[in-house]
Structure 1
Amino acid sequence: MEYISLNINDYNFNDFIDLIESKTSKRIYYSDSLGIFKRISINSDSIPIIEALQIALDGTNLFVSPWHNSYVILDEPLPLANNVFNNQNKQLAMEETSLLTDSEKRYLEGRRANVVKTIVVGNKNSKTIGKARVIGRITDGETGQSLIGATLFIEDTKTGTSSDMNGNFKINLSPGFHNVEFSSLGYKTKKYQLNVYSDDKIDIQLESSSFALEEAVIKGDK
């Protein structure tokens, strides 16, 4: 069990997670779609990381569960999570953790705290064999003008593509979760998570870096 020293007052959730990750070897995975807006104050010279996370989530109807050497925050606890957390036998803990279902592992893979938004690509009920074909168009969020040469970079595979003269792009991705970075010269670089299930089209609108806007706007067409 890993402990942490915390002396924080009125922290927002993202800053709280960043602090834990900077001071420990743990990663905390969650989706921004959970909408965690609670302010957090914890003062302790030594508190278990999971206990600090539970305090932060108190009153939110969310759960924190151990997952391998990290923690994941979901709207329901992972199976076996409590057993894994309390088990002092590392080998048995690894065996129990490995019993997570494929769907649970698929959900967790690629989750990152700094992903801004999630785009669902394709049909969740699809039984896609092989890679899914993802096409789309990247445009200026204000004018609607096509962005030529805008890039799409897949962080987990270190691959990517760029948009053509009409702002269109296409890429083949394996079903699952992919952290993606969209960028274009003169525009704000943004990171998103693509939850890929099957072939689909997505439209991306980026905001000019000259405007003080916080996020790019995303539209997914099914």
Structure 2
Amino acid sequence: MSGPLLSLQRLEYRYPDQLLALRGLDLAIERGRKLALLGSNGSGKTTLLLHLNGTLRPTNGMVLLDGQPGRYDRQGLNQWRRRVGLVLQEPDDQLFAATVEQDVSFGPLNLGLSEAEARFRVHEALEALRITSLASRATHTLSFGQKKRVAIAGVLAMRPELLVLDEPTAGLDSHGVTHLLGALQGLHQAGTTLVFFDARYGIGL
């Protein structure tokens, strides 16, 4: 299909206290791209990020998915979030199940997939992030870097076309950064479109 996978047109967002966070923003995210959006704290990165999967609805302007305006009813948002996965900066904000396998399987099971298909997707996602050995581990026992990869695996198991990550390397040591970026590069080579939000320059993405 031609045209951007996701695009923003003249996007404006004003918070309830009337703070104008975004104004006249245009952005096109092409399929298969790896895109880094950089900006200092307070520049509106998080506000923009939350528009990409429909969490926030613009005050003016629009978000287009495959050239069609994003729908904000329950069915529309469910379909949108199957295609656009969001990984937050703090993995504890996304992990809630007792074990890694249970956490990663939540999304596929919530899609109504069979247990067999859900298990396959869990294995596929854990393999892609190189964390199959963690499947039976309790999530509260994981290191910060392991939690980050598990959070990404949970979104990846939904097989999104576009994966959006908020400061993916924040809080990781150099070894953790190397492992995570290597895993993300593998996802990109497999066809996943990646968008990174970060406050720093030169994060090696």
Calculate the TM-score normalised by the size of structure 2.
0.28
Say which structure is richer in strand. 1
Q: State the TM-score, normalizing by the size of structure 1.
A: 0.27
- Who wins on radius of gyration, i.e. which is larger? 1
